[in-house]
Chains A and B, each alone.
Chain A
């Protein structure tokens, strides 16, 4: 089942913060976050694994609540380059492929 993302869209001014949420009805082994700019491929941002391990880059942080099967992506001091659509992808244990949410459109204005 597809994870649910909220909000669907958000508009920010440069320097403002944003939080994007992702929730699943199934037990999760991992949560991935990707950013996709218009006309481009999704780009990997971060992975959060059951047990607390995180792997990622850039000035972005995230949390993973295993009990609630939820993850949140924190964008602080947003820059114009943060604009795009953010997708969470959720994976169960083992060898299953990711299931992606429908995305959150983020627009950062000067």
Chain B
């Protein structure tokens, strides 16, 4: 069990550029979540997958955000035409069960800075 891995750890990009983040969950976990966290706030839900199916997407998420989880393994989160307001820590988490009765294991996150 190597935990949840996220890559890259840090990303600095210019406004208007596209960025893609990767998350590798714990291998036997079928649920994968993406959250965003800004300083002094709790994690804000973005989207989640049950295996390869994207089951829920936050209504706050603009069309510039898209996520995939091909084959139910790793996941990618893409942000198109980045804006300064996208600067945040992007956290990925996984859990082993579909009923929400086990805790989440979070990765160390990808810190995005849009300049």
Task: Write the residues of chain A forming the contact surface with B, with a CB cutoff of 8 angstroms.
Answer: 2, 29-30, 32, 34, 40-47, 49, 53, 55, 87, 89, 91, 94-103
In terms of DSSP, what is the predominant structure of the interface of chain B? loop
Interface size of B in residues (CB-CB distance below 8 Å) = 25
Interfacial chain B residues near A100, Cβ < 8 Å: 35, 42-45
Task: Write the residues of chain B forming the contact surface with A, with a CB cutoff of 8 angstroms.
Answer: 33, 35, 40-45, 48, 50, 55-56, 91, 98-109
Q: In the complex, A45 Cα to B99 Cα: how many Å?
A: 18
Asked whether A42 and B43 contact (CB < 8 A) given A96-B56, A97-B33, A97-B48, the answer is yes
Determine if B100 and A95 form an interchain contact, defined as CB atoms under 8 angstroms apart. yes
How many A-B contacts are there with CB distance less than 8 Å?
70
Nearest B residue to A2 by beta-carbon distance?
B42
Q: In the complex, A16 Cα to B44 Cα: how many Å?
A: 31
Interfacial chain A residues near B50, Cβ < 8 Å: 95
